[in-house]
Structure 1
C-alpha cells in the first residue's frame, strides 16, 4: 500500500515537472520567434 502511494506521488511529481518544462520550452520558443520576427 505504501509503495503504491509512493509511485502515485512520483508520477504526480514527474507530471508537474513535465508540464513545467513544456511551458518553459514554449515560452523560450515564443521569445526566440519574436526576436527572429523582429530581426527580419
Structure 2
C-alpha cells in the first residue's frame, strides 16, 4: 500500500510531474517482486 501513498504525496508536492512516466517497483517476503511503468495522472 505504500506505493500508491508515495505517488499521491509526490504529485501533491510536485504537481508539474503530472502526465509523466514513473517506474514503480515493489518487493515482499519470499523473493516476490513486481514492477510497472505508469503514466502519472
The bucket for the TM-score relative to the shorter chain is 0.3 to 0.5
Higher relative helix content: 1
TM-score scaled by length of structure 2:
0.34
The structure in which a higher percent of residues are strand is: 2
Larger Rg: 1
Higher normalized contact order (CA 8 Å, seq sep 6+, divided by chain length) = 2
